[in-house]
Amino acid sequence: MGLFSNIFKKKQPLLPLADLASLKNDIHSHLIPGVDDGAHTMSDSLEMLKVFQESGYKKVITTPHIMSDYYRNTPEIINAGLADLKKEIKSKGIDIEIEAAAEYNVEPDFEEIIKNDNVLTFGGSNKYVLIELSFFSEPKRLNETIWALNNKGYSPVLAHVERYEYWHNDLDKITEMMNRGVKLQLNIGSLTGAYGPGIKKVANWLVDEKIVDLVGTDCHHLKHLDLLQLARKLPKFHELIAQEQLLNSTL
């Protein structure tokens, strides 16, 4: 298991499993089979959804990647995959609700999508839009993209904000995002150290500052749900889900 096995072997002060009833909803995952780097088969999707259900989630808002170089998904492709998945969930008697939005890569093609109002949102009238940045460098037109979203009445949500390591020595960049009206999403697995100690440190800082708006599993496969079970025992996760600013339960 590599990295994951090392995480589980580390000694940390653990608490009883946190009750996920306060969260209710997961807002970041890749569960529609065959459309991106998440679930490969319908069987994979159903197996992961069973774990979501058993963990206490009531709804999953799954968010396939949309990026021009790799995953040229459209609302039509995503909604067709969602419809097939819903049929299977019903036939297998899995008691969980599922919706779909998307995780948009901030790139020139995305600006055209915004311009044409062809954006998948979640959260009803809040019109939340999940966006992600390159992991290598800040996109050149990030601020322009945020402005375009706000101008169209969308509410941008920055996926796994703690993972952009080029901001780790300049956390004012995160504050700047907030000042521009961007909601911040934290990956649960980051609290376990799965993505590295620097990312864990920033994740903990976000919790300490009480500036996480939405928390997500970013689930691509079952090992990410193993991380969820580990995180549920961490004092920092208990602290996070008790914070009043979290929006998961409102969706």
8 falls within a domain:
no
Q: Which amino acid is at 190?
A: S
Size of the chain in residues: 251
The pTM score is: 0.94
End-to-end CA distance of the chain: 34
148-160: pLDDT as tens digits: 999 999 999 999 9
Range of the domain at 48: 22-241
Express each pLDDT in 12-21 by its tens digit: 689 999 989 8
Domain presence at residue 29: yes
3-state secondary structure of 181: coil
* Cα angle 220, 247, 14; round to 5: 65
- Using CB atoms within 10 A of its CB, is residue 60 exposed (0-12), middle (13-18) or buried (19+)? buried
Does the residue 6 lie in any domain?
A: no
Bridge partner residues of 187 (DSSP): 216
CB contact at 8 A, 142 and 106? yes
Region of residue 153 (phi > 0: left; psi between -120 and 50: alpha; otherwise: beta): left
Structural domain tally of the chain? 1
Residue with tokens 């021009």: 68
pLDDT per residue as tens digits for the range 209-250:
999 999 999 999 999 999 999 999 999 999 999 999 999 999
pLDDT one-digit tens code per residue, 41-96: 999 999 999 999 999 999 999 999 999 989 999 999 999 999 999 999 999 999 99
17 belongs to a structural domain: no
CATH code for the domain of 109? 3.20.20.140
Per the domain annotation, does 15 fall within a domain?
A: no
Nearest to 121 by CA among 149, 147, 141: 149
For residue 82, being part of any structural domain is answered with yes
| Residue 8: pLDDT over 80 | no
Q: How many angstroms separate the CA atoms of 8 and 242, rounded?
A: 24
Residue 6 has pLDDT above 60, yes or no: no
Element (H, E) at 129: strand 128-132
Looking at the domain assignment, is residue 249 inside a domain?
no
pLDDT band per the 50, 70, 90 thresholds, residue 11: low
